[in-house]
Every structure is written in C-alpha cells, then in structure tokens.
Structure 1
Amino acid sequence: MAPLVLLAACSGSKDTPAAAGGPITVEASDDACKVARNTADAGNITFEVSNKGSKVTEFYLYGEGDRIMGEVENIGPGLTRRLIVEVAEAGKFQTACKPGMKGDGIRGDFTVAGGAAKAADANAQLGEATKSYQRYVNSQVDSLETKTTEFVNAVKAGKVDEAKALYPVARIYWERIEPVAESFGDIDPKIDSREPDLEPGQQFTGFHRLEKDLWVSGLQADSPQIADQLLADVKDLVGKAKAVELTPVQLANGAKELLDEVATGKITGEEDQYSHTDLYDFRSNVDGSQAAVAALRPVIDGKDKALGTTLDQKFAAVDALLEKQRKGDGFKAYTELTQDEIKELAAAVDALGEPVSKVAEVVSAK
C-alpha cells in the first residue's frame, strides 16, 4: 500500500482548473461525482470539492481494501472544501462522493503514477513528531484493550452498574485516537456506529449497542456475544494501529477531525444518546487533538510561532470550560447542561477549530 500523508480539509470558494499537477475539481451532486481527472503524479494531490446538490456530502480517496487515504466531510450544499492527500508511491485508488454522507458512495477509479519522498523521511523534526505521536497511539490502544476487557467482562457477568461505570472510561481511549481507527475501513462502524446512522442491513454492534442495552432495553440474550465481538474488534484495531505508518500531516488532519467530532456529535448530545456520557467523549476528543498538535509543536513553532501561542490560548479556554463540568471523578450528564453552557462550549470549540485547521498547511509548507 502506498505510504500517505493527509492534509486537513480547508475551506475554499472557487473552482480551480484541473491543470497537470494542479488542483483537481470535483463536482458533487445528489446523484453524481464528477472528478475532473482520474490520474495524478505521486506527491501532493489536491481536490477542490464543490457540492452542487441538495444534501450534505463527503469526499474520499480510498486505497486497497477501502483504506481511507483522505477524506473531507460535512460539505454543505453550495460549499467548496479542499482536501490534500500526499501519496508517495504509485498505485490504484478510488474516489467517492457520499451524498447524505451514507452508503459506499459514487465511486470512480483513480491512478497515481511515479514516486515522491515522504516528508517524515526528509525532515528530522517531522520524523520525530510522527514517532512521538505513534508512542501516544500505542499507549492509548493498550489502555483501550484493557478497559474494554473490563467493560466486556462486566456485561457478560450481568453486572449492570459496574458496566455502566466502565462504559465511558473505556471510550476515553477510543475517542482520543478515533481518526486513526477510522482509516481502517470497517473497524470504526463495527465499534462505534450509532443506531440512527446504520446502513441498510448493517447489524447494530459495538459500544452504542451495549449502551442501549445497559441504559434502555436491559441486557439482551445476545448482549454477551455483542460484547465479545466488541473486544475482538478492539483487538483487531490494536494490532493495526500499532503497525500503521503515520505521517506528519495525518496528525494535523486528525487533530481537526477530533474537533469536528465534538462540533457535530458531542456538543449536540447525539453521540451517547442513551447514557448521556457525552462530556467524557468531548474531553477525550480534545485531549487527542491536543496530543497530535503537541507532537507537531516544534515544527509549528519553527514556522509560525504566533500560531502556537494562539493554539495554547484556545486549548486552555476549552479546557477551563470542560473542567467546570466535572462531577466527582467524571463529568456531569449531558442532560444536566444548560443551553447557555452548551452554547459556550460550542463557541469555544469553534474558536479552537479555526487555528487547528491551519496546522496542516503550516506543517506541510516547504
């Protein structure tokens, strides 16, 4: 599989000609995905995705086995978003638009030719950043496996109160590294799909199925089997996450993705709709974003010191608001928040997301 680097999606407003080596325009609609050209040389590949349809859409570049090489989500009607993917080796890929952000998408073949040097190999600071973040990922997946095992054992033993207490704790380690997990095809939907987001024919499994069993319907006859499958999927993730080749702008992209997770799910209370433990996930997404930025910080400070200072200020503002919602060793239920508190948290995340969205461009700049 071709080594890759992901550059964070950013806003754009104009279509750009698909000149050789230049941005590739993508016109997404409710029933079409028109990619201006289906070949590119290895290195940075830029897609300018314009949503001409009536539904929110996504755009993906897939590698072998539906490995997500790069993605940009939540492109509203009339909006244009940019995705830059660095592919270092030749290979066969697929592009896909997903109107309504559902299904396999409207796909097309895409070919990358030639070869290019990887950023982490050419720059010692970038290389150390990826190693530092890989150590962080390794520690998180080890803790995820440990705590998920405890959670699964409680479910299988019918210890409902213990399982409820362990549910948000196990998810801490998942939420901190979710962008890494999302790149491995079907692992993310197996572990973390919400019931309203299931595709036709998709079985409801993972954390949220057990969340429903624990808080709403009561443990079911197949709850132990669902728990066993969750642990098997987590172990699968652990192996893949430790073996994946991470790259500098993948870290930057992941930092922004984690904040998008907060903005589109946790801040609305939709993620943990049965347990209302969303603030644990919120805290963990911010922690994961901060860890990715911290790994890249020497590079950021060397290229844009002011951005580093702004990031510190904005992360501190979100941290302060979250700490106000502590309750014992954990957090308040989402349902205990006032509308003013929700709005204040949302504004702080939006303010943080803006400088984090600049990190990938700074890191990738020559």
Structure 2
Amino acid sequence: MRALLQIFASSLVVAVFSVLPGRAAAGYGVQPDGQSLPVTVNVIGTVATPATLDFVVYLDGLDRDPYVWVSDSLQMDGYGLPLGRLVGSCAPYELIPFGEPGKWVCRESTILMQPGRTYYWWLDFRRLDTGDYAGQQRVSGPFSFTLVPQAPPVEPPPVAPPPEVDTTSAVSTKTVLSAATLPSEDAFNGTVSVKQTTLTRLLYGTMKSLVTPRTLAIACWTQPDWESVLAAEGDQPSPGSSTVLGFWKPALPRWLHLAPATCGPVQELLDSGVATGKRAAALATVLHEAMHAYGIDGEARANCFAVQLVPFAGRKLGMSTTRAAYLGRLAVRYVRGHAPAGYWNFTSCRDGGRWDIDPARPNLG
C-alpha cells in the first residue's frame, strides 16, 4: 500500500493541489452564483465584451482531478458531464491561482455564449477522504448566471478605409495532393505546413506495441493551407457546431491530415511533456484518424479506441506509467465532454463495455 501511495503522490495533479493550505474542506464552487453579468453585444448579436468570464472554485489538499463545466442546461449525467450544450470547460491544468489560499480560477471564453441567456456551471472533482484511496466523485453546483445585454458604446466617427492591397498571391491553393511536397520536419510551429516526422514515429511506435504497425505520414497544415485543403475536399473548417480537426482519406491511405488546432497542442505536449486536457484531446485526434487508417469505421468507435491508446503514446513519449495514465484520463474526459453528436457512445465506450480494450483495469471512467 505504501508503494501505491508513493506512485499516486508522483502525479502532477497531486503536486499541484496537495500544497493548498488550510484545514480540510471539500471543494466547492464560489462564483458566479446567481449573478446577472452585464455584457455588450456586437453587430451580429453575440457577446462583444467581456471576452472571458472567471469561474472561481475552492480546492483543498484532498481534492483531485477538478473539472469546471459550463452549459446551457443544469442537467448532467452520472459522470458529472453536461447533457446540454457545452459552452466552456477547464481541465485541472487550465486552472489558475485566484490569489487567495485554496481558490482557483477557470477563465473561459464567452465566444459560445449568447446575450440574454442563463447558463449553468459546476465543479466536478474527486474527494480523497481518510481511508478512501480511490476517492469519491463529487459535484459542487450547478450554479447559474445570466448575461444581461447593455447599451452598446457610442461608436466613433467612421474612419476612411486603408487602400486595398492585392492579397491574391497570399491565398493558399493547397490540396491533399500537396502533402507529398511538404518539407519533413520534427516540429510544427504553425507558420509552415510540414510533414511531421516526430508524430509519425510516435504513432508507429504506439501501434507497434499493440498490432502490426504501418507507416502513416502526418501532414500538419497551417490555417490558410488547412482551409484550402478542406475547400478542395468540399468541406469547411467549422461546419455547423463542430470543427474539423483532422481527417483520413481512403484514396490516400498512408496520410493523416491534421488541422493546426490539433498539431499545435500536440507539439506543446511533445515540447514540454506537460499534460492538459486540450493536449491530451489533440493527441487523441491523431490516434482517432489513425484508427480510420487501420480500418476502424464509425466516429464514436474510433474515438473510444483513440482515447484508450493515449496512455500507450504517453509511455512512448517517456512518461511514467502514472503520468501516462493521467494523460489518458484527461483524454477520456475532454473528448467525452466535447464530442459532437455521433462521436461518443456511452453504452459501448465505458469500463466493461464492448469497446473496452482492457477490461481488466478501469481506463474509461
């Protein structure tokens, strides 16, 4: 048991939240709680200011894995995940110090929130009480807040527009066939589309530990190139309420095509080794598209297998077993919480479900 406690204590989440001073008191949401928050509205009817809202929570040394969820509904499932539309969330590593002992802030964008609406938020965490090693899942909330539109500020007199500049030459014309001409690089900086060789090796090594691997080249596209590639495929970067983060094309079976919104967070993970929900989810996106290349059809099924492979990839990155498992847990919760319709199956993708690749241990909770 002592060895297990030492392993558990090595988790970075423990390192962050075990140093909180004060007497033990289970975590709880602080604010906002029932307030009406003034917002200004832009010309298209969405929130102009403030650009972000702060959700304050209290945590002590026995609280683990704190997640903040913001939704248009107060309904949640048995995991504490929103059943309504998710408009914001924070993983443990996205919380920032509030300035008072034990208090932390989830700073979330208002881009998905609408003026005049009431929203709900809550704190979802695990409580480690004395004698309870695994801990108990708890939820504080839901709490409500309302965005109240205010009169827009007086606009200054119009300013003459600058002379038009011919930007035709800067418009990307890239297609999936352009991937073969991309330079091979071991890192993606967001300014040049590349064939990301580090990710190719990571993916190959991850799959080799499980099945007969195949080499899949990975194209990391810049935003202009990504939009051009999707346009050539008859798609858009953000169709409807979802965002295209990557795709695999059967006609070019050896290539995975990834958005900068995927390659960027994965590169941050490769560079720093620090796990966050967004980085874990981005790595899961890479594995999701790889699942299609390996013959796994169905978006929900590919997502389920992908999040379970994240710990294997973490081990290939040199993480300890505990850290890799934590990376996988972040991937499960983030992907499950942000998956659009048809991309998650709660019945099949659960511990002991028919898509559980390792029923002997909990990995989908």
TM-score surpassing 0.5? no
Higher relative contact order (CA 8 A, sep 6+): 1
Normalising by the residue count of structure 2, what TM-score does the alignment of the two structures yield? 0.28
Look at both structures and tell me which one has the larger radius of gyration over its CA atoms. 2
